[in-house]
Amino acid sequence: TQAHVTAVENARALNAYVLETPELALEAAARSDARLARGEGGPLEGLPLGIKDLFCTRGVRTTACSRILGEFKPTYESTVTANLWRDGAVMLGKLNNDEFAMGSSNETSCFGPVVSPWRRRGSNVHAETGEGIVGQHLVPGGSSGGSAAAVAARLCLGATATDTGGSIRQPAAFTGTVGIKPTYGRCSRWGIVAFASSLDQAGPIARTVRDNAILLRSMAGHDPKDTTSADIPVPDFEAAVGRGVKGLKIGIPKEYRLDGIPAEIEALWQRGAEWLRDAGAEIVEVSLPHTKYALPAYYIVAPAEASSNLARYDGVRYGLRVPAKDVIGLYEETRALGFGREVKRRVMIGTYVLSAGYYDAYYVRAQKIRTLIKRDFEQVYASGVDAILTPATPSAAFGIGEKGSADPVEMYLNDVFTVTVNMAGLPGISVPAGLDSQGLPLGLQLIGRAFDEETLFAAGQVIE
Ligand code: GLN
**What pLDDT, in 10s, does the model give residues 146-177?**
999 999 999 999 999 999 999 999 999 999 99
Q: Beta-carbon neighbour count of residue 293 at 10 Å?
A: 18
Contacts of 49 (CB under 8 A, 6+ apart): 84, 89, 90, 91, 92, 156, 157, 158, 159, 160, 215
Confidence of residue 261 (pLDDT cuts 50, 70, 90): confident
What separation in Å is there between the alpha carbon of 397 and the centre of ligand 1? Answer: 16
| Residue 131 pLDDT > 80 | no
Q: Where are the domains of the chain?
A: 2-296+368-463
Report which ligand 1 atom has the smallest distance to the Cα of 302: 10
User: With helix as H, strand as E and coil as C, how does 102-127 read?
Assistant: CCCCCCCCCCCCCCCCCCCCCCCCCC
Q: How far is the CA of 274 from the centre of ligand 1 (A)?
A: 31
Residue positions annotated with a catalytic role: 52, 143, 167
What pLDDT score was predicted for residue 207?
98
Q: How does the average pLDDT of the chain come out, rounded? A: 96
The closest-lying atom of ligand 1 relative to the alpha carbon of residue 162 is 9
Task: Check whether 253 has a pLDDT greater than 90.
Answer: yes
Q: Percentage of the chain surpassing pLDDT 70?
A: 97
Say whether pLDDT at 127 is over 60: no
Q: Which CATH superfamily is domain 2-296+368-463 in?
A: Amidase signature (AS) domain (3.90.1300.10)
pLDDT at res. 129:
59
Read off the pLDDT of each residue in 259-268 and give the average, rounded to a whole number.
92
Percent of the chain with pLDDT over 90: 94
What's the pLDDT score for residue 232?
98
Residue nearest ligand 1's atom 10 by CA:
102
**Measured CA distances, 343 to 102, 221, 338, 379 (Å):** 7, 31, 10, 36
State the alpha helices, DSSP H only, in 38-86. 79-86
ipTM of the complex: 0.98
Dihedral sign of CA atoms 86, 87, 89, 93 in order: negative
